[in-house]
Amino acid sequence: MSVKANIRNKEDIIEIEVSGRFDFNVHREFREAYENVDQQMEHPKYVINLGGTDYMDSSALGMLLLLREYAGGNGANIAITKCREEIKEILNISNFHLLFKVESASH
């Protein structure tokens, strides 16, 4: 499992890549990925790349909600991308598709 943050300064995009299990064990890395990088960006877009994620639990959903709150709540610009079908199903069952832009791996 790992969490990596990539910053695209020209586009004001912070991409956070989660590989392996997205659960409580990565909560500190996930939080640091967005808290430590967006200091210079006024209104960054967050892209959460779950292409390498093979498991997600309720703590991961909580981490996504904390990111949403940190990024401005209803005004947050967050996309969850490259989701495998089973991950996308978890997000849909939890109604996260109403809070975030969710894209499948096929997009």
pLDDT, tens digit only, all 107 positions of the chain: 577 877 776 678 999 999 999 999 999 999 999 888 756 777 889 999 999 999 999 999 999 999 999 999 999 999 999 999 999 999 999 999 999 999 887 65
- Predicted local confidence at residue 96, as pLDDT: 96
Query: What are the beta bridge partners of residue 22?
Result: 56
Hey, what amino acid is at 70? Y
- Predicted local confidence at residue 107, as pLDDT: 57
Sheet holding 101-104, edge to edge: 2-8, 13-22, 45-56, 78-83, 101-104
Q: What is the pTM of this model?
A: 0.89
